[in-house]
Structure 1
Amino acid sequence: MAEFRLLGKVAVVVDGCPLDLGPDRQRCVLAALAVDVGRVVSVERLMERVWGGDPPLRVRATLLNYLSRLRRVLVEVADVVRRPGGYALEVDRAAVDLHRFRGHRARARACAGDDRRVVESLGDALRLWRGEALTGLGGDWAAAERARLHQERLDAECDLTDALLGLGHGEDLVADLTIRTVEWPLDERVAGQYMLAVYR
């Protein structure tokens, strides 16, 4: 089975072996489709996500070339299809780590009040991260998406900490919370969790 990885270096791994996704801009095209897997992304939006306000002279031809190459690379595991208005990556949402992460978070929210199940679901969600999201991709869209995903990760970490505190944990959380308070010094939720863990 293929795994599309966005929560770290952008990669597609099949049976433990990464596929050659080509140059950074081509990998950015794949990421720009994978964040909206199964939905049509317009050509204009793809160009904006990949090149921002500085497209090359033959931007449409270059984009079509990247899409064609990705079709060949992914032929055994996914489809990059032309649809009215743009292109879509057709693959099971569960193949994309970002969407599995969000699915685990949704299950955690559905288990509100059952801290043990929340811990299990959020632990599964956070284990999908392999570093900074969209590692290796430049440009304004990738930077903005990376920041948004980083916030989603922080929210999941804080939800997990709340559940662990609800189960009586404290001292074992101090080291991670110390790092989090340094990274997010103005976040009141993180500060409150840190103070409670230290108190315990």
Structure 2
Amino acid sequence: MAFEVRLLGAVEALGDGVAVELGHARQRCVLVALAVEANRPVSYDQLVTRVWGDAPPRQPRAALYGYLYRLRQVLSDVPDVALARVPGCYRMVVDPDAVDLHRFERLVARARRAEDDARRVALYDEALALWRGEAFTGLDTPWLSTVRMALEQQRSVAEADRTDAALRLGRHQEVLAVLTARTAAHPLDERLAGQLMLALHGLGRTAEALAVYQRVRRRLAEELGADPGEALRAVHRRVLQTPVLTVTPAPTWRAVVTPVTRLPVEATTSAVPGPRW
């Protein structure tokens, strides 16, 4: 791939493997605002909102034109990318797979359509390997924060879906350490708790699996005044009623995620939908 834009970590661009000098933070924000909408027009007003939020400079359009001019200059000799000017808008013309954010979403979509779990795990691994840290590391505007939250949710759901597939393949030992760390970080996450229970039960550690359930049940009652949901209760019954699992039955968890390309184009502080099991 001759040109790449990397957004899932520090913002970078490469042309034929050589780093492109993208300038300072505001100029990088302009690149991000266009790359997130690869091949779709973004108006000047939308760019100003995305780059400065509610605190634009005194002459925002002049500043924006300067950033766009310099970006067009540094990208002019880079193959397979262009910043096209259309009436009232700019558009980044690029192969979507050259932008890691879009490649991640496309790989996740392919994983969900895969016909078998081995292929599903491989596609999830390829997608998750694109992440190098927090999206847009070092950049911060209200719009970027909204997109970052949506991406983090997509990443979390992809990790959980990958774990479900690995459990169905009987890879209990492989996922155990990661699940232990994730449940410690998110002690009220019932999906993670259910996955950890299945991994422990699959390794013959049924008493520990049941202890996970009791621990989550107590914390839910104490902190939220709630009982475990039906999906986690179903896992609990499965652990009680079945012998040590070699291959786990398909979990019943479901999640709603919002692809970043479907976020309202002028969103700044809107909430990202959370998981719904």
Deviation at 1:175, TM superposition (A): 1.2
Deviation at 1:181, TM superposition (A): 1.9
User: What is the alpha-carbon distance in structure 1 between the residues aligned to residue 98 and residue 49 of structure 2?
Assistant: 25
Tell me the residue number matched to 1:6.
7
User: What is the alpha-carbon distance in structure 2 between the residues aligned to residue 44 and residue 63 of structure 1?
Assistant: 10
Amino acid at match of 2:108: R
With over 3 angstroms needed to count, the CA separation of the structure-2 counterparts of 1:32 and 1:183, relative to structure 1, is farther
Aligned pairs for 1:130-145 within 5 A: 130-145=132-147
Pairing 1:109–2:78 present: no
Aligned pairs for 1:112-123 within 5 A: 113-123=115-125
Amino acid at match of 1:92: D
Alpha-carbon displacement from aligned partner over 1:130-154 (angstroms, at most 9, x marks no partner): 1111111111111221111111101
**Greater RCO structure (CA 8 Å; 6+ sep):** 1
Give secondary structure in 2 for the equivalent of 1:128.
coil
Amino acid at match of 1:82: R
Tell me the residue number matched to 1:94.
97
Tell me the residue number matched to 1:43.
44
User: What is the alpha-carbon distance in structure 1 between the residues aligned to residue 40 and residue 86 of structure 2?
Assistant: 9
Deviation at 1:37, TM superposition (A): 0.1
With over 3 angstroms needed to count, the CA separation of the structure-2 counterparts of 1:185 and 1:44, relative to structure 1, is farther
User: What is the alpha-carbon distance in structure 2 between the residues aligned to residue 165 and residue 53 of structure 1?
Assistant: 46
Give secondary structure in 1 for the equivalent of 2:157.
helix
**Percentage identity across paired residues of the two chains:** 51
Aligned pairs for 1:150-165 within 5 A: 150-165=152-167
Deviation at 1:108, TM superposition (A): 0.8
Pairing 1:68–2:69 present: yes
User: What is the alpha-carbon distance in structure 1 between the residues aligned to residue 129 and residue 34 of structure 2?
Assistant: 23
Deviation at 1:187, TM superposition (A): 2.3
Tell me the residue number matched to 1:195.
197
Alpha-carbon displacement from aligned partner over 1:44-102 (angstroms, at most 9, x marks no partner): 11111100000000100000100010001111231111113311101111110111111
Which shifted more, 92-101 or 185-194? 185-194
Amino acid at match of 2:56: P
Aligned pairs for 1:25-36 within 5 A: 25-36=26-37
5+ residue gaps, structure 2? 203-277
Aligned length in residues: 199
Give secondary structure in 1 for the equivalent of 2:84.
strand
Deviation at 1:198, TM superposition (A): 2.2
RMSD over equivalenced CA pairs, Å:
1.2
User: Could you state the TM-score of these two structures normalised by the residue count of structure 1?
Assistant: 0.95
Residue 86 (structure 2) aligned to one of 42, 58, 83: 83
Give secondary structure in 2 for the equivalent of 1:54.
coil
Tell me the residue number matched to 1:56.
57
User: What is the alpha-carbon distance in structure 2 between the residues aligned to residue 14 and residue 2 of structure 1?
Assistant: 5
With over 3 angstroms needed to count, the CA separation of the structure-2 counterparts of 1:71 and 1:151, relative to structure 1, is same
Amino acid at match of 1:178: T
Larger Rg: 2
5+ residue gaps, structure 1? none
